[in-house]
Structure 1
Amino acid sequence: MKNTKLYLAIMMAVFTAGPIWAADVERTAHAQHEQGVVNMFGGAVYTGEPALAVTAALIKAGGGAEHFSFASALVAMLGEETVNSEVAKLTKQYGEDEVNTFISGMDAAIGYAINRVTDAGITLPEPADLTGVALAKTLVEAGTAPDGVFWSGYLFDKALSNKIHNQVMADINANISYEDDKITHKILNQAMYDVAQALAMTDVKLADLH
């Protein structure tokens, strides 16, 4: 009964306030969930220290902080042929518009993250000695929650910290859109699951949001 009442209250808030407030309502709902806090778009929350050296390695793979490209980072990790095959698969699954939203959304997320880290007075360490497939495997492992499911939010928590991850999502929701943020999380869940399977990390499970 408690969950039913909470759900009805949330839905009333959404329909009354309109879609612009959907992200705030969903965030509040998650925070109040009796089973514990989960990320806005699903999955466990990680509140430990972020793996900033791994984040720095990802940024380096994508061309550096000033010219970061998630597509370039993928090619650096997996090779152009594999990436082209995966993009074709995702495009067939989600459509070109959503895949473009995903790629640009990842670029935006890294850009906002760098700004937030800088504003917080945090200096990224030297990149971890991770390149190619080793970096890809590390990212899959970082985003795999205790339930064995890869969740984008769990990866972002580990890459940035839960606090900065939430700040970055707020930036995206305010300056781009909540829907684009959700699409980015959704397709990253699927893409990293696909990467896990291709790298024989077959114990990794696919998130509900995909």
Structure 2
Amino acid sequence: MPGYDVTEPRLRCVLPFEAAPAEVRLLRRATVKQLSRWGMPVAADEAELLVTELATNVVKHVGEGASATLILEWRGERLRLEVHDKSQAVPAVSAADCDEECGRGLHLLAALAADWGTVLTAAGKAVWCEISTGTGRACRRIARAAEALEQYQGASGGIALPGRGRKAGLEESAVELIADLLHWTTARGHDPDDILDRAQMHYEAEGAAA
């Protein structure tokens, strides 16, 4: 099939795009369509959010109209998303600020992805992230959530407490993170109630499959 090749146990799709809001929307749809072709509907919603964030960062920080490329790669139990551009400016996680959406993108990336990073290339850089897709997904989700919440608590200035105090602090961080994600979805024109409904559907579907 044009657009991807199979080498070893791997599926790969390369999608060039131009850094512009309209292109980001098309790229998001193309990602969901490609994952559906691969039979990966469970990962589609997460991939859609991550692709939006990665591509939007190119628009914001490299410049509208810049040429870039999204690479989707499914290998084993991981789906890898890479966005390549021609800038060698490496993004850095900054302290979360409630009054600024800018700077929150990488915190969201760290919270949603199983792993992520940046690699300098001969032509510029690649920002990548990975989503877990295989067996044991629920356990990985729990471990990933716990790690993300502790990082989020530290980034927002929270103090890690022992025992029950630590548990309460993580629960409060979970509430804050969910609220931040709802603000993020609203800022991008999505219905937060729809996002919550889709998340609940994913949770119930994965619970039934466990």
TM-score, normalising length from structure 2? 0.31
**Which structure has more strand as a fraction of its residues?**
2
**Which structure has more helix as a fraction of its residues?**
1
User: Relative contact order, CA 8 A, sep 6+: which one is greater?
Assistant: 1
TM-score, normalising length from structure 1? 0.31
